Structure 1
Amino acid sequence: MIYLDYQSTTPLAPEARDAMLRWLDGPDGSAFGNPHSQHKMGRQAKAAIELARDRVAALLPPGGRVIFTGNACEALNLAIRGSGSGGSVSVSAIEHAAVYDTAKALGQAHILNVSKDGQCNTAQDVPDDCRLIAVMQVNNEIGTIQPTIDWHRKAKENNALFLVDAVQAYGKIEITHADMIAISAHKFHGPKGIGALWVRDGVDLDPQITGGLQEGARSGTLSPALVAGMGAAAHLAKQQRAADADHIDALWNRARDLFSEWEMNGSEDARWRGNLNIRRDGLDVNRLMSECRDVMFSAGSACASGTGKTSHVLKAIGLSDAQAKSSIRVGFGRYTTMEQLEQGADAINAAAKDQGL
Structure 2
Amino acid sequence: MATIYLDHQATTPMDPAVVEAMNVAATDCFANPSSPHAAGIRAFREVERARGAVARLIGAARTEIYFTSGATEGNNLAIKGVVRSESRRHVVTTAVEHKSVLDTCRSLRSAGHEVTVLPVDAEGRVGARQVADALRPDTALVSVMLANNEISTVQPVADIAAVTRAAGVPLHCDATQGVGSLPVDVRALGVDLLTFSGHKIYGPKGIGVLYVSNGLSDRAPLVPLLHGGGQERGLRAGTVNTAAVIGLGAAVGVLAACRDEEAVRLAGLRARFLAELAELVPYTLNSGTGPGFLPHAVNLSFEGVDAQHLLLEATDIAVSTGSACNSSAQEPSHVLTAIGLSPERIRGSVRIGFGRFTTEEDVSRAARRLAVTVGTRALRTAGA
TM-score by length of 1: 0.96
How does 1:198-209 map onto structure 2 within 5 Å?
A: 198-203=211-216, 204-209=221-226
Aligned match of 1:184: 197
Q: Secondary structure at the match of 1:234?
A: helix
Answering whether residue 83 of structure 2 is matched by residue 67 of structure 1, we say no
Maintained 8 Å contact 2:29/2:39? yes
Aligned-residue Cα RMSD (Å) equals 1.3
Instruction: Assess, with a 3 A threshold, how the Cα gap between structure 1 residues 259 and 157 changes in structure 2: closer, same or farther.
Output: farther
Q: Secondary structure at the match of 1:8?
A: coil
Equivalent-residue separation in structure 2 for 1:84 and 1:290 (angstroms): 42
Answering whether residue 285 of structure 2 is matched by residue 264 of structure 1, we say yes
Answering whether residue 32 of structure 2 is matched by residue 34 of structure 1, we say yes
Give 1:332 shift.
0.6
How does 1:25-104 map onto structure 2 within 5 Å?
A: 25=27, 30-63=28-61, 65-85=64-84, 86-104=88-106
Maintained 8 Å contact 1:171/1:234? no
Query: Which deviates more, 65-74 or 317-326?
Result: 317-326
Equivalent-residue separation in structure 1 for 2:378 and 2:80 (angstroms): 49
How does 1:3-42 map onto structure 2 within 5 Å?
A: 3-25=5-27, 30-42=28-40
Equivalent-residue separation in structure 1 for 2:92 and 2:83 (angstroms): 13
Aligned match of 1:220: 238
Answering whether residue 328 of structure 2 is matched by residue 290 of structure 1, we say no
Q: Secondary structure at the match of 2:83?
A: coil
How does 1:98-177 map onto structure 2 within 5 Å?
A: 98-107=100-109, 108-124=114-130, 125-128=133-136, 129-176=138-185, 177=189
Answering whether residue 319 of structure 2 is matched by residue 317 of structure 1, we say no
Unaligned runs of 5+ in 2: 380-384
Equivalent-residue separation in structure 1 for 2:180 and 2:373 (angstroms): 34
Aligned match of 2:358: 336
User: What code does the residue aligned with 1:195 have?
Assistant: G
Q: Secondary structure at the match of 2:19?
A: helix
Equivalent-residue separation in structure 2 for 1:22 and 1:224 (angstroms): 11
User: What code does the residue aligned with 2:158 have?
Assistant: I
**How far does the alpha carbon of each residue in 1:168-226 deviate from its partner, in whole angstroms, 9 at most, with x for none?**
11132122321111010000000000001011112121111011121021101112110
Q: Secondary structure at the match of 1:330?
A: strand
Maintained 8 Å contact 2:93/2:142? yes
Maintained 8 Å contact 1:266/1:317? no
Maintained 8 Å contact 2:304/2:378? no
Query: Which deviates more, 221-230 or 259-268?
Result: 259-268
Unaligned runs of 5+ in 1: none
- Runs of 4 or more, structure 1, over 3 Å off, are none
**How far does the alpha carbon of each residue in 1:267-310 deviate from its partner, in whole angstroms, 9 at most, with x for none?**
33221021110002221112211210110000111000110111
User: What code does the residue aligned with 1:33 have?
Assistant: A
Maintained 8 Å contact 2:18/2:250? yes
Maintained 8 Å contact 2:180/2:200? no
Equivalent-residue separation in structure 2 for 1:306 and 1:8 (angstroms): 13
Give 1:61 shift.
2.6
Maintained 8 Å contact 1:163/1:180? yes
Give 1:62 shift.
3.0
Q: Secondary structure at the match of 1:328?
A: strand
User: What code does the residue aligned with 1:96 have?
Assistant: H
User: What code does the residue aligned with 1:54 have?
Assistant: G
Structure with bigger helix share is 2
TM-score by length of 2: 0.89
Equivalent-residue separation in structure 1 for 2:328 and 2:231 (angstroms): 36
User: What code does the residue aligned with 2:59 have?
Assistant: P
Maintained 8 Å contact 1:120/1:146? yes
Equivalent-residue separation in structure 2 for 1:114 and 1:311 (angstroms): 14
Equivalent-residue separation in structure 1 for 2:243 and 2:298 (angstroms): 33
Maintained 8 Å contact 1:93/1:114? yes
Query: Which deviates more, 263-272 or 190-199?
Result: 263-272
Equivalent-residue separation in structure 2 for 1:67 and 1:323 (angstroms): 41
Aligned match of 2:257: 239
Q: Secondary structure at the match of 1:356?
A: helix
Q: Secondary structure at the match of 1:302?
A: coil
User: What is the number of residues matched between the two proteins?
Assistant: 353
Q: Secondary structure at the match of 2:92?
A: strand
User: What code does the residue aligned with 1:32 have?
Assistant: F
Q: Secondary structure at the match of 1:209?
A: coil
Equivalent-residue separation in structure 2 for 1:79 and 1:31 (angstroms): 29
